[in-house]
Every structure is written in structure tokens, then in C-alpha cells.
Structure 1
Amino acid sequence: MNRKLKRSLWCWLALSPLVVAVLFPFAVMFFTSFKPANEVFVYPARWLPQHWRWENYVDMWQAANFGVALRNSIVISFLSTALALAVSLPAAYALARFPFRGRGAYRQFLLVTQMLSPILLVVGLFRLAAMIPYGDGNLVDSKLGVIVSYAAFNIAFAVWMLSSYFQTVPRDLEESAWLEGSSRTGAVFRVFLPLAIPAVVVTAIFTFISAWNEFAVVYTLIRSPENKTLTVQVTDMVAGKYTVEWELVMAATLAATLPVSVVFAWLQRYMVKGLALGAVK
């Protein structure tokens, strides 16, 4: 056994408790989601279901209105991420490239805003949404209100992240493009942004996950079932119920984690590049 393989085995052995701790809740969700109702609470507890009930996912899809909630979560998360990046990219570029008075204080202000939880602002946010006209009513119980709210909460984080990454991109590359006759805007789109794609993807991943998992804002603003997201629909399967069908709750919870896991696994190569880029500073 060579030295490299031995070192890898020791590393995996050291990491095995952490791997078990991380995967244990997912294993519980997976096996519980396939159990019949009479096997969920049995004594002594059984790890594997005796009768695999695949129909739980069909029942969950109907009971939780899962298809509508999944669509709402995808639309709200993607649009709020796109809106946050559209505002954050020019702000982060200006913060990284143009010196101005108070820039350090502004960066500290962005960091301080991350110490405030959205749940502290939901009452004021609800009153603000109720005062803004939209369609035949206001922004309460509308996906637009949730999208704008999520984007607003994530802009400060996105600007902070992107500005740190943007400072690592050499200015000489843009200056070379200027000498070739390119405008500042052209240099940004043709030279700067392609080099910053890993950083943009990392920020987009964190912003998307934050919007996907958020609960307090959407629970406050959304009322109608056709506008609810997955976090609210899964909670409604438990809250206020005399009898909770835990096999359906576990099926819904497991299915709700899959889209984020797929996106994370698909974009992880950019995430590694982005984190490495931010470390070289």
C-alpha cells in the first residue's frame, strides 16, 4: 500500500463520524418515507420498513399540493437570485474598483446587516407590502413581494462576497483591453466577468439556497395555497394537525431537499474555484 492511499484511508477514517452525523437525518427521512403508517411508531423501533410503500410519495404529492409548491419555490428562488445578482454585480464592481470616501465604513455596514435576522423585520415588511399597490390589491399574498424581499435580504451578502472576489482580479487585464480600444463596459463584459464566473456562481448558490430555505418572510406574506412555497407547505402538514402523517412529511421533506442538492452537486466545481479565488488575496 503506497503512502498516498494510506493517507487517504486515514483521512476517510477520521472523517467517518462527521459523514455519519451528516447522513443520519437523511437516512431516517428516506426509510421513514417508505414505511406504512402502522410501522412509523412501533416498539422496538425498526430501521428498515417491513413493507415498502412507494405510494407514500403519490399521497404526499396530493396531500401537500407538492407540485404547485415546488414550482413556486423554483420560480421565487431563481428570480430572487437573478434580481439580487443584477443589483449586486455593479455595486460590487464599483466597491472593488473605484476608491471613494467611506468605502471601508460601507463594507462594515454591509457586514453588520447580516447580523439581523429576517424574522425581526417581518412586521414592518408586512406593513410595507400592504401599503404598496399591486394589481387589484397590494404585495401581500403575491410572489412578487416575496421575490423582492428575498433579493433585498441577499443583496448585502452578495455585494460583500463579490467585492472580495473582484479585488483578486488583476486590474492590468482590463487596462490591456482599454489599450486595445475596448470601452470600460466592454472590458467588464469581455474580460472581467468571464474571469469572475466562479465567484458569481458561488454567490448565486448561497443566495439560491437562502431563498429556497427561507420560511419567516414567505409565511408572513403569503396566504393563498396556490402561492405557498415548499417550506410553508411542509410546515402546514405538521402545524395544527391532530394526527400527523409522518411518513408523508418525511417524503415531502426528502423531496424538497433534492433540487438544492442537485444544483449544489452540478455547480460544485465552480464553488471550489470561487472559494479558492477568494482565498488568494
Structure 2
Amino acid sequence: MIRQDKLLRSLWCWLLLLPLVAVVIFPLAVMFLTALKPASEIYVYPARWLPQQWQWSNFSAMWTQTGFGHALLNSLLVSLSATVLTIAVSVPSAYALARLKFRGQGGYRQFLLVTQMISPVLLVVGLFKMAASIPWFDGSNMTDSRLSVVVAYGAFGIAFAVWMMSSYFETIPRDLEESAWLEGSGPVRTVLRVFLPLALPAMAVTALVTFVNAWNEFAVVYTLIRSTEKQTLTVLVTNMVAGQYVVQWELVMAAAICAVVPVAILFAWMQRYMVQGLTSGSVK
């Protein structure tokens, strides 16, 4: 009887969620079906949802014609580097904000929230001038360097990461650290052995959000990166549409689908950490 009630409750939940699931899946389904159509079927009227000729070769043609592999590696390199930089700087800052009390602490938290209201688009001109004024090893500047993009992404993500992780760090009881201190553990060892394992869910969620933001960002990388071999996926897909006399939509949709796959895999892999970090406390 209890199992039937749970089954009925699950059925009602899925029926209520079905419209939302349809809204989320519909654009992805259109992208996928368009990527499998030949060019002659895209502009037909009336439009057909399903392709009459399933052309899987669009994905291989997109990969070879657009240099998708280089852009994919650039996006992975930039996004992972920005995530590591953000987490490395934010964890000590969030720990200090959660454990140490100082004058103006509340105002500093509000400042971190206010910075999230500033769009990166408003700062691209200033970022470009700063990158152009910093000398690089080969005698040029940092306007065409992936490092400048990584630093910019890290700067944009640190404020959110500190605010998010400090809120979670405050839920971890001080008694755990004090017990470790009484047993002879030093402050650094206590943080590494006791505190950080408990804070892993919050760090995982923050890293995931930072990675996705860096993966999807367009304005900063489009401004700072000029060479084709250093462009990321967002710039690649945009260049396949912007300024083209004839847009090959089947290749554009294939590139968009392939760009979504790594993020979807990452979400599926880190789903349990994300749910745990958003809903649970530190002591069970």
C-alpha cells in the first residue's frame, strides 16, 4: 500500500513537471534534428520536424571544416584554469569571512552581492586597455593571450564564489576544529584534514557554476582573443553565423550540440555533489 502511494505520488510529480521538461528539451531537440538534416531540407516550406534523410556526416563535416577540436581544447583549458584559479583564491577568503569577525563584515558581504549586478560587457573596454598595457614575454601585450582571459574570468567569479562558500562554511560547527586543536592538530592541518572535506559539496557546486559561466562567456573572450587558433567555442559558433553570406545551419546546430555535451556530462557527474551542497548541512 505504501509502495502504491509512492508510485502514485511520483506519477503526479512527473505529470506536473512534464510541461517544464518539454520546454527545456524542445530547443535541444530542434537543434539536434536540424543538425541531422541536409541543407536542402532546412529551408523547405512548410517546415518538417523530422529529416527525411538522416545526415550524420554533418558532425564530421563540422569538425573538419570549422576547427572545432582546437576551439574545444581552448574552451576546456580556459574554463578549467579559471575554475582552479577561482577556487584557489576563494576558499581562503571564504574561510576567513566565515570564521573571523571584523568591522564592516556585513558591508563587505553586501559589496560582494553588488558586484554580481555588473555585467562583464560594461567592463570589456577597460579589460582590453589593461591587457594592452601589460607587456608579455615576446615583447607584445596580453590582448591575444589565453592567460588574460583566465585572469578576467577568475576576477569575475571570485566574488560570487566567496559569497556562496562563506555562507556554507558558516554551517560547519566550530567544535569540529576546536576538537582537532585540542588533539594537537595545527591550524593548517585542521583546515586541510577536517574542514575542507566537510566543505567539499560547496566547493564542488561553486566550481561547477564557475566552469559553466566561463564555458558560456562570450564578450570578454571575443574582445581579448584575436587569433583563430586561440578562440573558444562561443566565438567559433558566433563566427559561423556572423558575417557569413550563406549560413550552414546544419553545421551550426551540430557545433552547438557538441558544445553542450561536455557541460551536460559534467552536470550529470557532479549532480550528487550539487544537491548535497545546496540542501544538506555539514554534520549528519
Query: Under TM normalisation by the shorter chain, which class is it?
Result: over 0.9
Q: 1:132 aligns with which of 120, 131, 134?
A: 134
CA positional deviation for 1:278 = 6.6
CA positional deviation for 1:277 = 3.1
The equivalent of 1:113 in structure 2 is: 115
CA positional deviation for 1:259 = 0.3
Superposed CA RMSD: 1.2
d(CA) in 2 for partners of 1:260 and 1:5? 31
CA positional deviation for 1:59 = 1.1
The equivalent of 2:174 in structure 1 is: 171
Unmatched 5+ residue regions in structure 1?
none
Change (3 A) 1:253 1:278: farther
The equivalent of 1:5 in structure 2 is: 7
Written as runs of structure 1 = structure 2, the 5 A alignment for 1:194-273 is 194-273=197-276
Q: Deviations over 1:205-231 (max 9, x none)?
A: 000000000000000000000100000
The equivalent of 2:48 in structure 1 is: 46
Unmatched 5+ residue regions in structure 2?
none
Written as runs of structure 1 = structure 2, the 5 A alignment for 1:135-174 is 135-136=137-138, 137-174=140-177
The equivalent of 1:88 in structure 2 is: 90
Q: For structure 1, which segment, 240-249 or 42-51, has the greater mean C-alpha deviation from structure 2 after superposition?
A: 42-51
d(CA) in 1 for partners of 2:282 and 2:233? 35
Q: For structure 1, which segment, 26-35 or 132-141, has the greater mean C-alpha deviation from structure 2 after superposition?
A: 132-141
Change (3 A) 1:215 1:279: farther
- Do the aligned residues in 2 keep the contact of 1:168 with 1:277 (CA within 8 Å)? no
CA positional deviation for 1:21 = 0.4
d(CA) in 1 for partners of 2:282 and 2:256? 35
Seq. identity, %: 66
Q: TM-score, normalised by structure 2?
A: 0.97
- Residue aligned with 2:124, SS: helix
- Residue aligned with 1:116, SS: coil
- Do the aligned residues in 2 keep the contact of 1:199 with 1:277 (CA within 8 Å)? no
The equivalent of 1:103 in structure 2 is: 105
CA positional deviation for 1:279 = 11
The equivalent of 2:190 in structure 1 is: 187
CA positional deviation for 1:134 = 1.3
d(CA) in 1 for partners of 2:66 and 2:272? 34
Q: Deviations over 1:48-69 (max 9, x none)?
A: 1111111101111122210000
- Residue aligned with 1:133, SS: coil
- Do the aligned residues in 1 keep the contact of 2:112 with 2:163 (CA within 8 Å)? yes
- Residue aligned with 1:188, SS: helix
Change (3 A) 1:50 1:125: same
d(CA) in 1 for partners of 2:222 and 2:258? 20
Q: TM-score, normalised by structure 1?
A: 0.98
- Do the aligned residues in 2 keep the contact of 1:81 with 1:151 (CA within 8 Å)? yes
